Each structure stands twice: as C-alpha cells, then as structure tokens.
Amino acid sequence: QVQLVESGGGVVQPGRSLTLSCAASGFAFSSYGMHWVRQAPGKGPEWVAAVWYDGSDKYYADSVQGRFTVSRDNSKNTLSVQMISLRAEDTAVYYCARSVGSAFDIWGQGTMVTVSS
C-alpha cells in the first residue's frame, strides 16, 4: 500500500545537526513533489521544505532557510532533510508528505525531534 515511513529523529543539543529520512513505497515516488512538514507540541502544522519530483527545485520556509537542506534519491525512493544549527524552536514532530497539486494527500507517521541541552 501507499506508505511513507520517517526515521532519524531523536534528542539533539542546540547548535548540533541531524538528518531525517523518509522511505516511500506503493507509488511512483519519482512522479511526485515531496515535502517536510513539522508540528510543534500543541501547535498546528508548519510546512518546512519541498523538493520537486525530479529534484530540480527546492523551497524552504523562512524559519529554516539556510539551515535545512532537502534532498531526494529517486533510485531508492527516499526523501531526506539535513538540519544544521538546530534550535529549541525546531522541536517538533517531522512528517514527510506527498503533494498532489497544492495539497498533501499522503503523510508519514512522523518522527520526533527534540532540541534540548
């Protein structure tokens, strides 16, 4: 079935780095734009980053621009985000999500990132 599975979350100190991954299955991964969306505890979702179906274009929210780098490997059906200079305000559940048009139709179960000393 169509599935997205995130991994790589954990507890990290402020200023350190972390890389999250998302494994896709059950659909033609290389045909879809893919995104990272995060949700801080008790808050609404916040779009973080996007990469177009072929990796040619990447976009970021202002809050992570210059610190997060999104990438994809269509040969391995994987999406990644490298996060550097992490801050307490980056603490959230991070979801990978597939977009169809302008909406997110498939979401992973999420992986928790906690930035704390």
Partner 1 sequence: EIVLTQSPGTLSLSPGERASLSCRASQSVTSTYLAWYQQKPGQAPRLLIYGASSRATGVPDRFSGSGSGTDFTLTINRLEPEDFAVYYCQHYSSPIFTFGPGTKVDIK
Binding site for partner 1 (CB under 8 A): 35, 37, 44-47, 50, 57, 59, 61, 95, 97, 100-105, 107-110
CB atoms within 10 A of CB 31: 10
Closest CA to 96 of 16, 17, 43, 19: 19
Task: Report the distance separating Cα 77 and Cα 25, nearest Å.
Answer: 7
Question: Closest separation between CB of residue 84 and partner 1, Å?
Answer: 21
Question: Closest separation between CB of residue 8 and partner 1, Å?
Answer: 17
In the complex with partner 1, which residue's Cβ is closer, 17 or 100?
A: 100
In the complex with partner 1, which residue's Cβ is closer, 14 or 64?
A: 64
Task: Report the distance separating Cα 74 and Cα 8, nearest Å.
Answer: 19
Question: Closest separation between CB of residue 91 and partner 1, Å?
Answer: 17
